[in-house]
Amino acid sequence: MTPEPKKGVSGGMTILQRVAPARPVQARRPTPESPEIVADRVIQGDCVDEMRRLPAGSVDMIFADPPYNLQLGGELFRPEGGRVDAVDDDWDHFDSFAAYDRFTRDWLHEARRVLKPNGTLWVIGSYHNIFRVGCALQDAGYWILNDVVWRKANPMPNFRGTRFTNAHETLIWASRDADSRYQFNYRAMKTLNDELQMRSDWLFPICSGGERVKGDGGAKAHPTQKPEALLYRVLLACTKPGDVVLDPFFGTGTTGAVARRLGRRWLGIEREERYCEVARTRINATLPFDESAMATVPSKKAAPRVPFGALVETGLVAPGTVVWDAKRRWRATVRADASLAMGDVQGSLHQVGAAAQGAPSCNGWAFWHVEFEGEVVALDAVRQRYLLMVGE
């Protein structure tokens, strides 16, 4: 089997670590959701062989950073004469494109087998390999959801001046099947992006400074270490606390460290013993966020349904209360059965709001406003107070 990779860390503390006594990684025992898998551990071995030993349908998400097959020829030097520390490890060497394609098909096949029916896969690559991976991924039955461009804020220059500076890498996000009901935390992504929809072009710096893991002699431990911020966004986007995240090219444990911080369960497969040891040490030193910090803004689909009548019954909006639109063009009165009355028009807050505007529909929660605790707020704000009262 062709060798595989990787990802890096060691040296100083990273952005997801704090100075604290290391706590050993404890493998969690199987749960009802995944009755046979033991998570929170590093497995040393070939990724295809080791995935074959995992139970089918046991993983919620896979993040894969496979060899890029860079096909580098000769050494590269900076203008001042310094040698560029490029990726020239054995695990990135393949005899031909055909050999690389066979390797890609093998690991994608096993990855799809271990994914749950509604699971998703993320794979990252450069122009050297990502198009070949994308083709193999579609042939294997995955359904592509997005391609995401990681734009590097501080890319390595093109020292020879013969091409454009290679300033990005591409991630493919795919579900296991075309009809998978995959997890996507849309509201969390929108909140993370200052209430704007999260786009598919992401700007992050490459690893450097304290985040870059150092090995012997102060050299970087791994040549293709990904920034923790990138993994943070990926995991926050499509997993929830307690989900199992598999990285079949674990390297020095970036995926595991971020997963542990975010309260996700993780499983890493790595061929190289030196990377396994660094990964274990790194993850042991990573402290999870407090459980209360794990909550994110729920999507509208995930939020519990609250009838307007619940606000009337609890007295948050009493019968007889007058509500109005934001510009105070229309007024309506709340009745005992939680309907609204606006002259001769009667019905639900949505129906009366639509009738007032002559519109086919209306979100009454956002349209109607009320004086509540000394402030004028949309009814939706009162609904949020109700949810706090009942502990949702």
Tell me, yes or no, whether 88 and 112 share the same domain: yes
Residues 362, 272: one domain? no
Q: Answer yes or no: do 151 and 99 share one domain.
A: yes
CA 388 to chain centre: 27
Each residue's pLDDT tens digit, 74-86: 454 445 545 445 4
Residues 131, 249 within the same domain: yes
Q: Could you tell me if 108 and 195 lie in one domain?
A: yes
Q: For residues 258 and 159, which has the higher predicted lDDT (pLDDT)?
A: 258
Tokens of 170: 């591409």
pLDDT at 120: 98
Pick the last residue of a domain from 294, 317, 349.
294
Instruction: For residue 72, tell me if it sits in a domain.
Output: yes
Domains held by the chain: number:
2
- Is residue 184 within 8 Å of residue 120, measured between CB atoms? no
Last residue of a domain, one of 271, 294, 317: 294
Q: Is residue 256 predicted with pLDDT exceeding 60? A: yes
Q: What is the mean pLDDT of the chain?
A: 83
Distances (CA, A) of 334 to 110, 317, 341: 59, 8, 7
Examine the pLDDT at 12 and tell me if it is beyond 50.
no
Could you tell me if 128 and 262 lie in one domain?
yes
Cβ(61)–Cβ(120) below 8 Å: yes
User: Does residue 184 sit in the same domain as residue 47?
Assistant: yes
User: CATH number for the domain including 62?
Assistant: 3.40.50.150
Distance separating alpha carbons of residues 116 and 182, to the nearest angstrom: 10
- Predicted local confidence at residue 61, as pLDDT: 98
pLDDT in tens, 264-295: 999 999 999 989 988 998 899 888 887 667 77
Domain end (from 241, 270, 294):
294
Q: Are residues 52 and 188 in the same domain?
A: yes
Instruction: Report whether pLDDT(186) > 80.
Output: yes
Residue 388: the pLDDT is 81
**Global confidence as pTM:** 0.68
What's the pLDDT at 216?
A: 67
Instruction: Tell me the three-class secondary structure of the chain, residue by residue.
Output: CCCCCCCCCCCCCCCCCCCCCCCCCCCECCCCCCCCCCECEEEECCHHHHHHCCCCCCEEEEEECCCCCCCCCCCCECCCCCECCCCCCHHHCCCCHHHHHHHHHHHHHHHHHHEEEEEEEEEEECCCCHHHHHHHHHHCCCEEEEEEEEEECCCCCCCCCCCCCCCEEEEEEEECCCCCCCCCCHHHHHHHCCCCCCCCEEEECCCCHHHCCECHHHCECCCCCCCHHHHHHHHHHHCCCCCEEEECCCCCCHHHHHHHHCCCEEEEEECCHHHHHHHHHHHHCCCCCCHHHHCCCCCCCCCCCCCHHHHHHCCCCCCCCEEECCCCCCEEEECCCCCEEECCEEECHHHHHHHHHCCCCCCHHHHCEEEECCEEEEHHHHHHHHHHHHCC
- Print the domain residue range for 153: 41-294
Would you say residue 100 has pLDDT above 90?
yes
Shared domain for 216 and 323, answered yes or no, is: no
Do residues 61 and 39 make contact, with C-beta atoms less than 8 angstroms apart?
A: no
pLDDT tens-digit series, residues 299-344: 666 667 788 998 998 899 999 999 999 999 999 999 999 999 999 9
